[in-house]
Amino acid sequence: MEPFLREFHNEVPLVPFLYSTLHSLLKQVMETFVKGDMIEKKELSKIDLSARESPIHTKNIDLDLATRDDLRKVKPHVKEVDILL
């Protein structure tokens, strides 16, 4: 998200690049939660997120260290194993 904000916080008109950049950002976010084959088969707007075959199993979601630390702060009694490894 930060690269997006840095790129578009500019005085130069960047509207012509907005669609492709937002598409890439949305795809990147969806790749965290949706199976890769679903993203490659369909347009992003056509993916049914409620379909049983769409989401990645919670144990396979790749979380960065900051997110894991935040989860520990919210639920300090939760074991490391339970924090979506």
pLDDT digits (tens, 9 = 90+) for 54-70: 787 777 777 788 887 88
Distance CA 68, CA 79 (A): 11
Q: Please spell the DSSP secondary structure of 30-60, one letter per residue.
A: HHHHB-HHHHHHS-GGG--TTSTTSBPPGGG
Whole-model pTM: value is 0.61
pLDDT at residue 39, as a whole number: 84
Which pair of structure tokens corresponds to residue 31?
A: 């790749």
Output the pLDDT for position 83. Answer: 54
**pLDDT tens string 5-64:** 788 787 888 888 889 888 888 998 888 888 888 888 888 888 888 888 878 777 777 778
